[in-house]
Amino acid sequence: MRPVELSENAVSWLNAYRFRCGNMRTGRTANWQAATGKGIKWIQDGMRHTFCSNWLAFHEKIDRLVLISGHDSVDTMWRHYYKGTTKADATAFWNLYPPAINPENVVSFPTTAVA
Protein backbone atom coordinates (compact mmCIF):
# COMPACT_ATOMS: atom_id res chain seq x y z
CA MET A 1 0.00 0.00 0.00
CA ARG A 2 1.33 3.45 -0.92
CA PRO A 3 1.02 6.50 1.29
CA VAL A 4 -1.42 9.00 -0.19
CA GLU A 5 -0.95 12.64 0.59
CA LEU A 6 -3.31 14.87 -1.33
CA SER A 7 -2.29 18.46 -1.88
CA GLU A 8 -4.75 21.22 -1.13
CA ASN A 9 -5.32 21.90 -4.82
CA ALA A 10 -5.85 18.17 -5.56
CA VAL A 11 -8.57 18.04 -2.93
CA SER A 12 -10.21 21.12 -4.44
CA TRP A 13 -10.18 19.55 -7.94
CA LEU A 14 -11.60 16.27 -6.64
CA ASN A 15 -14.37 18.12 -4.80
CA ALA A 16 -15.21 20.19 -7.88
CA TYR A 17 -15.27 17.05 -10.03
CA ARG A 18 -17.43 15.18 -7.54
CA PHE A 19 -19.81 18.15 -7.34
CA ARG A 20 -20.23 18.22 -11.12
CA CYS A 21 -20.21 14.48 -11.83
CA GLY A 22 -21.50 12.85 -8.68
CA ASN A 23 -19.97 9.40 -8.46
CA MET A 24 -16.21 9.57 -9.01
CA ARG A 25 -15.93 6.18 -10.73
CA THR A 26 -18.88 6.45 -13.13
CA GLY A 27 -18.16 10.11 -13.85
CA ARG A 28 -14.58 9.28 -14.80
CA THR A 29 -15.69 6.50 -17.15
CA ALA A 30 -18.27 8.76 -18.81
CA ASN A 31 -15.63 11.46 -19.30
CA TRP A 32 -13.17 9.01 -20.88
CA GLN A 33 -15.87 7.69 -23.21
CA ALA A 34 -16.95 11.21 -24.21
CA ALA A 35 -13.32 12.26 -24.86
CA THR A 36 -12.61 9.13 -26.91
CA GLY A 37 -15.64 9.88 -29.07
CA LYS A 38 -14.15 13.30 -29.82
CA GLY A 39 -10.86 11.78 -30.96
CA ILE A 40 -8.89 12.78 -27.86
CA LYS A 41 -6.00 10.41 -27.25
CA TRP A 42 -5.08 9.73 -23.63
CA ILE A 43 -1.37 9.43 -22.95
CA GLN A 44 -0.72 6.19 -21.10
CA ASP A 45 0.21 7.07 -17.52
CA GLY A 46 0.26 10.75 -18.50
CA MET A 47 -1.34 11.90 -15.27
CA ARG A 48 1.14 9.89 -13.18
CA HIS A 49 4.08 11.25 -15.18
CA THR A 50 2.79 14.80 -14.80
CA PHE A 51 2.37 14.32 -11.06
CA CYS A 52 5.84 12.82 -10.61
CA SER A 53 7.62 15.48 -12.68
CA ASN A 54 5.90 18.32 -10.88
CA TRP A 55 6.20 16.73 -7.44
CA LEU A 56 9.96 16.20 -7.82
CA ALA A 57 10.60 19.69 -9.20
CA PHE A 58 8.60 21.26 -6.38
CA HIS A 59 9.62 19.13 -3.37
CA GLU A 60 13.09 17.99 -4.50
CA LYS A 61 12.87 14.73 -2.48
CA ILE A 62 13.47 11.78 -4.78
CA ASP A 63 13.33 9.13 -2.02
CA ARG A 64 9.87 10.29 -0.95
CA LEU A 65 8.65 10.32 -4.55
CA VAL A 66 9.79 6.71 -4.97
CA LEU A 67 7.59 5.72 -2.01
CA ILE A 68 4.61 7.80 -3.13
CA SER A 69 4.70 6.55 -6.72
CA GLY A 70 5.19 2.88 -5.93
CA HIS A 71 8.45 2.58 -7.88
CA ASP A 72 11.30 0.59 -6.40
CA SER A 73 14.21 2.37 -8.08
CA VAL A 74 15.54 5.83 -7.31
CA ASP A 75 17.60 5.57 -10.49
CA THR A 76 14.52 4.99 -12.66
CA MET A 77 12.68 7.89 -11.04
CA TRP A 78 15.68 10.16 -11.47
CA ARG A 79 16.12 9.30 -15.16
CA HIS A 80 12.44 9.80 -15.96
CA TYR A 81 11.47 12.79 -13.82
CA TYR A 82 14.52 14.84 -12.91
CA LYS A 83 14.34 18.09 -14.88
CA GLY A 84 10.98 17.00 -16.29
CA THR A 85 9.77 20.50 -15.53
CA THR A 86 11.04 23.65 -13.89
CA LYS A 87 10.54 24.66 -10.27
CA ALA A 88 8.52 27.68 -11.46
CA ASP A 89 6.20 25.53 -13.59
CA ALA A 90 5.83 23.00 -10.78
CA THR A 91 4.91 25.80 -8.37
CA ALA A 92 2.27 27.01 -10.83
CA PHE A 93 0.99 23.41 -11.17
CA TRP A 94 0.56 23.02 -7.39
CA ASN A 95 -1.20 26.40 -7.23
CA LEU A 96 -3.74 25.58 -9.94
CA TYR A 97 -7.29 25.51 -8.55
CA PRO A 98 -10.68 25.04 -10.19
CA PRO A 99 -12.91 28.09 -10.55
CA ALA A 100 -15.09 28.77 -7.53
CA ILE A 101 -18.28 26.77 -7.61
CA ASN A 102 -21.51 28.48 -6.78
CA PRO A 103 -24.07 25.65 -6.42
CA GLU A 104 -26.91 28.03 -7.30
CA ASN A 105 -25.39 28.69 -10.73
CA VAL A 106 -24.51 25.11 -11.71
CA VAL A 107 -26.68 23.26 -14.19
CA SER A 108 -25.99 19.61 -14.95
CA PHE A 109 -25.78 18.56 -18.60
CA PRO A 110 -25.45 15.13 -20.21
CA THR A 111 -21.88 14.11 -21.09
CA THR A 112 -22.53 14.54 -24.83
CA ALA A 113 -24.38 17.28 -26.62
CA VAL A 114 -27.40 16.51 -28.77
CA ALA A 115 -27.27 18.21 -32.16
pLDDT in tens, the chain (115 residues): 666 778 888 888 888 877 776 666 666 667 667 767 777 777 778 888 899 999 999 999 999 999 888 888 999 889 989 988 999 999 999 998 888 765 555 555 555 544 4
User: Which pLDDT score, from 0 to 100, does residue 115 have?
Assistant: 47
Q: Is 112 left (phi over 0), alpha (psi -120 to 50) or beta?
A: beta
Q: What is the pTM of this model?
A: 0.68
Q: Which amino acid is at 58?
A: F
Cβ-based burial of 55 (10 A; exposed 0-12, middle 13-18, buried ≥19): buried
**pLDDT tens column, 8-18:** 888 888 888 77
- Length of the chain in terms of residues written: 115
Helix (H, G, I), strand (E, B) or coil at 107: coil
Helix (H, G, I), strand (E, B) or coil at 44: coil
User: Which pLDDT score, from 0 to 100, does residue 1 have?
Assistant: 66
Q: How many other β-carbons are positioned within 10 Å of the β-carbon of residue 22?
A: 12
**pLDDT tens column, 86-104:** 999 999 999 988 887 655 5
Task: State the helix-helix crossing angle for 74-81 and 62-69, rounded to 10 degrees.
Answer: 100
